[in-house]
Amino acid sequence: MVPYDAAGRPAGGHPRARGEEPVFDIRGAIDLHVHCGPEGIPRRFDAIGMARHVREAGLAGAVLKSHVANTTSWAELAWRATGVRLFGSITLNHHVLRDEGVATARETAALFRAVGAERVVLTSDLGQVHTPPPGDGLLRFAEALAAEGITPHEIATAMVRNPAALVGD
């Protein structure tokens, strides 16, 4: 498990950046829900910083989300600057009206068992200043799901294959 400090930041960065192999391999995953700036809410990364993080974490890509802006141009500029594949989005949510629910690993494991991995997509919903970076969050989530009995194949289906199919990869 990646050690984190009190603020939720990885101690020493992502394991691969420290020359270590993480416990669970998330290489090739596409996170369909990551936050970046500029936005009125503090964010850990701007789009170019997110692209660099995606590369460092070994992810195949990410979908940028903003509560206030269309992120397609951010994704395009980050791709041009880094060569890392990001996707933009237009979010039509009720952010101002209600809190978004957060599923626990146990609840997500129950979902896997109820509907099958081929109908599950795992995303981090990270990128905020006070949370771990998306790649680290996906790794932690994968480890927690494995501890609940979800197989590496099922996790890879929900984290790698299903997102890739949704973005047309």
Sign of CA dihedral 8, 11, 12, 14: negative
Domain positions in the chain: 26-93+100-166
Contacts of 145 (CB under 8 A, 6+ apart): 105, 108, 109, 112, 122, 155
Q: What is residue 68's predicted lDDT score, i.e. its pLDDT? A: 79
Per-residue pLDDT of the chain (169 residues; tens, 9 = 90+): 444 555 444 555 666 667 777 677 889 999 999 999 988 888 999 999 999 999 999 999 999 998 878 898 999 999 999 999 999 987 655 443 344 556 678 888 988 898 899 989 988 889 999 888 999 999 999 999 999 999 999 999 999 999 999 998 7
